[in-house]
Amino acid sequence: MKNFMLLLREEIEETQKLPPQEFQELVAAHMNWVQELTEKGIFKGGEGLEYEGKTIKNATRVVSDGPFIETKECVGGYYIIQAADIDAAVEIAKNCPCIKYPGSIEVRAVSVY
């Protein structure tokens, strides 16, 4: 078993427009999902990220506002799960509640050697 990080990218303006009931259903769906994975013993952690932040360009050391430079999508949070291989991790990620909303999920194996 390996650990995988799911980077959840969302279109923040779309998410923030959700009416209260739908917001709540989305929150509850995430909670359910985490609970489910926890019960299976394959949930290893995760956090949501606030949408305000700074980005530092390495070579120029220019600091700009916002984590999102050109794209509408930005990383809204991450989960770390355990799976046999990348394909299994992708299958799990496909059930993440945020899949129903605009955005994407990046699945990356946590490097261990």
Partner 1 sequence: MEKDENISPQEKIGHLFRELSGKMTAALSHFFGLQHLEFVEDVVQETFYAALKTWPTHFPANPQAWLFKVAKNKAINLIKRNHHIRDHLIKKYWNLHHENDLFSIMDGAFDEGIIHDNQFRLLIAGSHATVNSRNQIIFILKTLGGFGTSEIANALIMNTEAVAKNYQRTVKALKEKGIGLEDVSVRETRAKLDLVHKVIYLLFNEGYKASSGPHLLKEELCFEAIRLAKILLQAHCFNPATNALLSLMYFNLARFQGRVGQMGELILLKDQDRKLWDKQLIGIGFQYFSESMTGENLTSFHIEAAIASLHCISSDYKSTDWSKLLFYHDKLVALNPSPVTHLNRIVVLKMIKGPGFALKQLLENEHLQTPKKNYLYFAVKGQLLEEQHMFSDAVADYEAALSLAENQSEKRFLSQRLEQCKINAQAGNK
From candidates 1, 24, 55, 94, binder to partner 1 by CB under 8 A: 24
From candidates 11, 74, 76, 89, binder to partner 1 by CB under 8 A: 76
- Contact region for partner 1 (CB under 8 A) — 9-17, 54-62, 86-94, 105-113? 9-17
Taking the CA atoms of 76, 77, 81 and 84 in sequence, report the sign of the dihedral they define.
positive
| Residue nearer to partner 1 on the CB measure, 51 or 68 | 51
**Cβ 48 to partner 1 shortest distance, Å:** 3
Residue 41 in the binding site for partner 1 (CB under 8 A):
no
Q: From 111, 112, 113, 108, select the one nearest 4 (Cα to Cα).
A: 108
Given its phi and psi angles, is residue 8 left (phi above 0), alpha (psi -120 to 50 degrees) or beta?
beta
Find the Cα–Cα–Cα–Cα dihedral 78, 108, 105, 71, rounded to 10°: 90
Q: Which residues bind partner 1 (CB under 8 A)?
A: 15-35, 38-39, 45-51, 76-77
